[in-house]
Amino acid sequence: DSGVTQTPKHLITATGQRVTLRCSPRSGDLSVYWYQQSLDQGLQFLIQYYNGEERAKGNILERFSAQQFPDLHSELNLSSLELGDSALYFCASSVGGGEGEQYFGPGTRLTVT
Amino acid sequence: ILNVEQSPQSLHVQEGDSTNFTCSFPSSNFYALHWYRWETAKSPEALFVMTLNGDEKKKGRISATLNTKEGYSYLYIKGSQPEDSATYLCAFKGGATNKLIFGTGTLLAVQP
């Protein structure tokens, strides 16, 4: 158990819908990272927040957005969902702003039908 | 486009065999190289973070080396055990960004 929690574990929704994935980092970690793992691709970095501020951005679609709240938990919002958004979404956390190892949560499996 | 490549894509060994795999990454603007172990139905687990050319790190039977000038890292597993079966991922971090760029992994299967 990494200490990072993610909810929900599974999510099934229809195209065009909007969902919110939630992540709570390890106690004391200030950075939260979001990754997408699709069937035919490796782990793709989406976005990083550090202590409430956006720190780095990857190939995150405009339909996706994220935020980190004062209690350091983070939410990833996915809207106008398409079939291709079906994937495993991981959240990870680290102590600092990006130097050390990252601790991964169990992931949220999103299925868009 | 930054490319992180891992080879081989998959590896089947017998229990007790020693094995190694390779991660290739851009040799310019290097900041760090991460290794993760990812078991099926679990989440990636950090093994090593390496930052200096010539770094060698060890955790039990698993060790890693780093050559930043030529852009590669090796992961070694000595005396493989069935519980070592997993996908081993490396991830490159360049100095200009906080992004980790992951390779597609090496899938290791250890037969008892």
Residue found by looking up tokens 């005396």 in the block: B79
| Average predicted confidence (pLDDT) for chain B | 93
Beta carbons of A100 and B49 less than 8 Å apart: yes
What digits encode the pLDDT tens for the residues B64-88?
A: 999 999 999 999 999 999 999 999 9
Chain A interface, best mutation among B59, B99, B104, B107, by max A CB count within 10 A: B99
**What percentage of chain A has pLDDT greater than the value 70?**
100
d(CA A34, CA B36) in angstroms, rounded, equals 16
Please list, in sequence order, all residues whose beta carbon lies within 8 angstroms of the beta carbon of residue B31, skipping any fewer than 6 positions away.
Answer: B51, B93, B94, B95
Evaluate if residue A24 carries a pLDDT over 80.
yes
Evaluate if residue A99 carries a pLDDT over 80.
no
Asked if residue B50 lies in contact with residue B30, where contact means CB atoms within 8 angstroms, the answer is: no
Q: In chain B, where do the E strands start and end?
A: 5-7, 10-14, 19-24, 30-38, 45-50, 56-59, 62-67, 72-77, 86-94, 101-102, 106-111
Asked if residue A45 lies in contact with residue A104, where contact means CB atoms within 8 angstroms, the answer is: no
| Average predicted confidence (pLDDT) for chain A | 94
> A-chain residues within 8 Å CB-CB of B34?
101-102
Evaluate if residue A40 carries a pLDDT over 80.
no
Region B4-29 average pLDDT: 95
Residue with more model confidence, A98 or A35: A35
Report the candidate in B4, B11, B5, B13 with the shortest Cα–Cα distance to residue B110: B13
Give the model's confidence band at A57: pLDDT under 50 very low, under 70 low, under 90 confident, else very high.
Answer: very high
Q: Within chain A, where are the H helices?
A: none
Give the model's confidence band at A86: pLDDT under 50 very low, under 70 low, under 90 confident, else very high.
Answer: very high
Of B46, B89, B98, which is closest to A103 when you measure between CB atoms? B46
Distance from CA of A14 to the nearest CA of B (A): 24
Region B20-37 average pLDDT: 93
Region B16-24 average pLDDT: 96
Whole-number pLDDT of residue B11: 95
Nearest CA in chain A to B49: A101
Q: Is A1 exposed, middle or buried (0-12, 13-18, 19+ CB in 10 A)?
A: exposed
Residue with more model confidence, A79 or A40: A79
Beta carbons of A43 and B89 less than 8 Å apart: yes
Whole-number pLDDT of residue A41: 81
Give the model's confidence band at B96: pLDDT under 50 very low, under 70 low, under 90 confident, else very high.
Answer: low
Evaluate if residue B97 carries a pLDDT over 80.
no
Report the candidate in A1, A5, A3, A6 with the shortest Cα–Cα distance to residue A110: A6
Report the candidate in B28, B16, B69, B73 with the shortest Cα–Cα distance to residue B50: B73
Q: Is A37 exposed, middle or buried (0-12, 13-18, 19+ CB in 10 A)?
A: middle
Give the model's confidence band at B28: pLDDT under 50 very low, under 70 low, under 90 confident, else very high.
Answer: confident
Rounded to 5°, the CA angle A107-A33-A68 comes to: 105
Q: In 3-state terms, what secondary structure has residue B3?
A: coil
Whole-number pLDDT of residue B1: 62
d(CA B47, CA B95) in angstroms, rounded, equals 21
